[in-house]
Structure 1
Amino acid sequence: MSSFDLSKMVSTVDNLSTCLDIMLCCKSPEGGKEIIDTYDNLENLVTIFENQMNTLKKALVREKNARQSYFQAQLDDLKKMVNRCEHMIMNTPINSNNFNGNQQYNQNETKENNSNCLNSINNISMSPVRSSWNDTFSPPENSLHQNTTMSTTIMGQSKCQTSKHVLDIPYIQLVNNEEMNTVPKYMKGRLTSLNINVVIESINIALENKYEILRKSKTALKKKELDAYNEWKIQQSNVGQGQYFVTAEDITKYSETKVDKTTLNIIPILRHLKRLKESRIGGFIYYLPY
């Protein structure tokens, strides 16, 4: 005798009852309309969902492209830094190569030549511009750049060499790793001394090229140089006579280094390390070497 499953029978009856209700609803005009309305509502919900999915997909694609562009720009900046560092390494003189003839070094002759070099330096005008500029610069005595003279002995002959530029530009000294360790973590982030020195080199180049123009006679200047000359004269009256300075525009124009967000993040580090001072006057920002 087969066993009777009551729960299974109840489930079957419920399913048949549901099917009967659907059939009766379809035969009734009101029931059929209700089913159609429910179907339309479901279809509208599906359409809305698909539109939202498409919108989200487009937003994700835009975000992906933006991040790719950002990271590509960062990669390009890093490549420029690497190229600049390689250029610095290739053009850094090796002092040991200049002293192969040290066995014939004559100390008395070298001291005499160094004395002559120092006398020549003392005769150099301390003004970064020609006397034709009415507002004459008067830089401090300690602003002479180091390494202004170089005595070399080659094949027993001592020669005194001076830089081709006027020697009173206060170049900014490079930063070493020990100094970088004194910079707070929140300030330097992932920046290294290499990143800092790239910006320092750019500022030094801008200073050198800028004041090279200021030393020329007005009659020898081109129109663009003359316009910059006159603008610097106005800026100098704001900063103060005798004070060397550059602006972000000067750095970009005369060192071919774009002053971007990374460069602006390095400026506070240079202030912290006593390499640079910042002066805000009349809506302009001036960077002044220590």
Structure 2
Amino acid sequence: MSNFDLEKMDETINNLSIGLDVMLCCKDTAGGREILESFRKLDNLIMSFDDQINILCEALTKEKNARKSSFQKQLDELKMIEERCNHMIVNFPSNFCDTNKFEMQKFNQNYEIKKNEGNNLNMTNLSVSPVPTWNNTYSSYNTMSNGTIMSTTMMGQSLKSQSSRQVFDIPLLKSVTNDEMDKVPKYMKGRLSSINVNVVIDSINAALENKYDILRKPKNTLKKKDLNLYNMWKIQQTNVGQGQYFVTADDITRFSEMKVDKTTLNIIPILRHLKRLKESRLGGFVYYLPY
């Protein structure tokens, strides 16, 4: 008795199933057409995929060739630059620096000659130029040291304009050092240090600067508040003396953040001792005058 072959039996069944499907397709033409249509669609889809793959391959090939061409162009340009540099190095004249130096010296010499000729020409013109005539307004003349003729009226105006531009230095108080504080008597300074004293000095200097900044402005340009201060200071100036710089306790408080309290009044004798400040009492007021 022969052995039973399961695989062979399975293959036979599959063949019979395929044959049955074919028989059914032949019997039902609609089912056969549906199978054929599906097969055509699948075949068209495979062909479409093949076309897309070919297009991508062509695009990649073009991109590769374009990049290769660009790189080759850049490489050619670099080689050309290298050749030019080598040519310049080989053919660069050895006496180039000396030639430039000689040309520069020659240029400077020509420039000096022209400059001297121009100065001589100007001096010649000045020596033969006629004396200018002035109107009756400038009837009197003065000759200055450089030979220029100027009327006394014009000289007065010039001196006046120069004096108006002069800047008068305010005698500000110098800061106190630790060595100077060591020389101050113990009973006078107590526990005060140079830092405390310099704070008062800074406040007095601020008052001096702000006060005389207002006093130097034209009176007609001042605001009402500053004008009142201006008039008050002018009255005080007559008591102290013309030309003497001074501030009062009110000025220090007005132009600084410091109030003239007991500590400040204790520092004033130290400033007098160190020759930073003088004190004057006139008409019920105390004036502080810098040295």
**Shorter-chain TM-score above 0.5:** no
Q: In proportion to residue count, which structure has more helix?
A: 2
More contact order relative to length (CA 8 Å, sep ≥ 6): 1
The TM-score normalised by the length of structure 1 is 0.43
